[in-house]
A and B are shown apart, each in its own frame.
Chain A
Amino acid sequence: MPGLEELYREIILDHYRSPRNRGELESPPATKVDGHNPLCGDEITVYLQVEGSGDDAVVTDVKIGGQGCSISQSSASMMTGVIIGKSVGEIRAITRRFKSMMGLENVEAETGDTDIDLGDLEALQGVVKFPVRIKCAVLGWNTLTSALDEALNASE
């Protein structure tokens, strides 16, 4: 069995103890979407402020609410750090890159995805060796995708 230190890297524990961008945004104007893991009961809320429309729309702010384990919380915390100021198109590419790092098979990679630098998020690579925890790591990302879809639908 792989050692726990591969799962609980220091940077993950740091984001767990001091999560970034926790809180709420007024909705509307922000988009608010709840996500949950039916297996363990973890709940996460993504508040997303999006300016513009289509793939060029830009995420200007994001906040995270809810409760979860160290993996789901740190993954969501690191996620907020990489998406603020990015376009929807860029965020979708980052999401694909992250999910494929998690070994999820239903992700269709597009050209250029492999060039994306995930930064701190690379620390979550060790999760792949603990398959039951992959759902924890992607909970925030799946909720983010729903929030992006909802925000863009609302702007049309």
Chain B
Amino acid sequence: MFDVDAVRAEFPLLTDRTIDGARLVYLDSGNTSQKPRRVIDAMTTFMEETYAPINRSSYRLAGEATEVYEGARHAVARLINAPSTDEVIFTKNATEAMNLIAMAWGRANLGAGDVVVLTEMEHHANIVPWQMLAQERGIEIRWIGLTLDGQLDLSDLDQLLDGAKVLSFTAMSNVLGTIPPTQRLCAAAHAVGALAVVDACQYVPHNVTDVQAWDADLVAFSSHKMCGPTGIGMLWGKMEILEAMPPFLGGGNMIDTVTFDGFTTAPVPAKFEAGTPAIIEAAGLTAAIEFLEDLGMDNIRQHEMQLTRYALDTLQRRFGDEITVYGPDNVEVRGGVFSFAFRDLHPHDVSQVLDESNVCVRAGHHCAKPLMKTLKINATTRASIYLYNDEADIDALADGLDGASDIFGF
């Protein structure tokens, strides 16, 4: 049994912070998640007791700090069922991981006319790096379209993938919540000899992740969306692919040796970790992963599926035709992200009114402007849930929407 009250009790901001004397209804976890006490404590304790440089000094304290940092790599590998810990690379965030893929793998392997296939529901982080390559060297980008209910339209997948070198797609849309068939898409990419890249930012925090079952080649995700701190993101990749790739950023830690004539690179993962990394954040990330593991990723997914069902039903029951929630209705293939249009109110005005009752949602294009074009809108209001949300939060959202009607006189 998932005890959401006990879970929320671990998040100081959700229990202690008030605005205008009332608690916060935080429905913006698709943006970034709140932090449990043990993550906050892990970072503080690490700084108070163990902080030192990693990988480069020989005193005992530095050895302990290195162990903490490398411990995070083990935790991440465990969370996504990576075959080897060394395949986990730490970056600044998932966006940097996506840029690493496009700039390091892409520059080494793609030339004029080579095809990269994306989907119409990608975040800008999985669009712009490829468009930068298109500007730089004339690669071609093709787009997998959407069905009316916001799932990928895979009817002409073979045609789109014909001759492609890369298929890069989100494992869960940050706007629609759509969870595409990742395993099938990776297999389809491999069938034409293409690299299978997965943006798993929205997926990993909410689901059991198994990169081996996916048979993906490169997977990017972030710490701050799964109860961990900002400033640290992850790239996982198959070792033979990572070994064959050139480095992305150059500097300290990523080299084997440097002479006046050039350099040789350190083995993976150090090869992709130039400079002093997010050491303190790694300590927090380990605590976040242990927190998720204690709850069980399958339990978290079950809780969110139930709450997603409740949210979709509640919004439909209370507002009927006056609300349009984008994305699939089947909670088996969607996560807890609800982008919606409410009456003919602009999302900015909706979120402003919701803020009046401390309901925190995002309004805008959600860094997915091409998708807005597909949906023929400029923006949506988006509520997104996580493990600490419950039915009362959804009810508060619906009550807040009622308030919007009063102000705008509908």
Contacts and interface: CB of A to CB of B under 8 A. Distances in A.
Given A1-B19, A69-B346, A40 B352 contact: no
Contact of B20 (A1, A42, A70): A1
A154 interface: no
A142 to B, nearest CB: 17
Interface residues of B, number: 19
Interface in B252-310: none
Contacts of A114: none
A8 to B, nearest CB: 6
A64 to B, nearest CB: 15
B158 to A, nearest CB: 34
A45 to B, nearest CB: 13
A40 B353 contact: no
A43 interface: yes
Given A4-B407, A42-B378, A70 B349 contact: yes
B408 A41 contact: no
B407 A8 contact: yes
Contacts of A41: 364-365, 369, 372, 378-379
B355 to A, nearest CB: 8
Interface residues of A, number: 19
A67 B376 CA distance: 12
Given A68-B346, A133-B348, A4 B379 contact: no
B409 A39 contact: no
B347 A69 contact: yes
A13 interface: yes
Contact of A1 (B348, B356, B372, B378): B356
A102 interface: no
Given A7-B352, A39-B364, A70 B346 contact: yes
B363 interface: yes
A62 interface: no
Contact of B409 (A1, A13, A133): A13
Interface in B153-196: none
A40 B365 contact: yes
Nearest to A73: B346
Contacts of A70: 346, 348-349, 408
Contacts of A42: 348, 378-379
Contacts of A121: none
Contacts of B347: 40, 69
B409 A69 contact: no
Contacts of B349: 8, 69-71
Interface in B352-373: 352-353, 356, 363-365, 369, 372
Interface in A1-41: 1, 4, 7-8, 13, 39-41
A152 B346 CA distance: 34
Contacts of B348: 40, 42, 68-71, 133, 136
Contact of A67 (B363, B378, B408, B409): B378
A111 B275 CA distance: 53
Nearest to B408: A13
Contact of A40 (B19, B364, B409): B364
Contact of A4 (B20, B356, B372): B356
B356 A40 contact: no
Interface in B385-410: 407-409
Nearest to A42: B378
A147 to B, nearest CB: 21
Interface in A38-70: 39-43, 67-70
Given A41-B364, A70-B346, A4 B408 contact: no
A57 to B, nearest CB: 32
Contacts of A39: 364
B408 to A, nearest CB: 7
A4 B378 contact: no
Contacts of B408: 8, 13, 70
The listed residue with most A CB atoms (<10 A of its CB), out of B347, B348, B407, B408, is B348
Given A13-B409, A40-B378, A136-B348, 13 more contacts: A4-B353, A4-B356, A8-B408, A39-B364, A40-B364, A40-B379, A41-B379, A42-B348, A67-B378, A68-B346, A70-B346, A73-B346, A133-B348
7 contacts: A4-B356, A8-B407, A40-B348, A40-B378, A42-B379, A71-B349, A133-B348
Interface of B: 19-20, 346-349, 352-353, 356, 363-365, 369, 372, 378-379, 407-409
Interface of A: 1, 4, 7-8, 13, 39-43, 67-71, 73, 130, 133, 136
Which 10 residue pairs spanning A and B have beta carbons closest together?
A69-B348, A41-B365, A69-B346, A40-B364, A41-B378, A41-B379, A70-B349, A67-B378, A69-B349, A4-B356
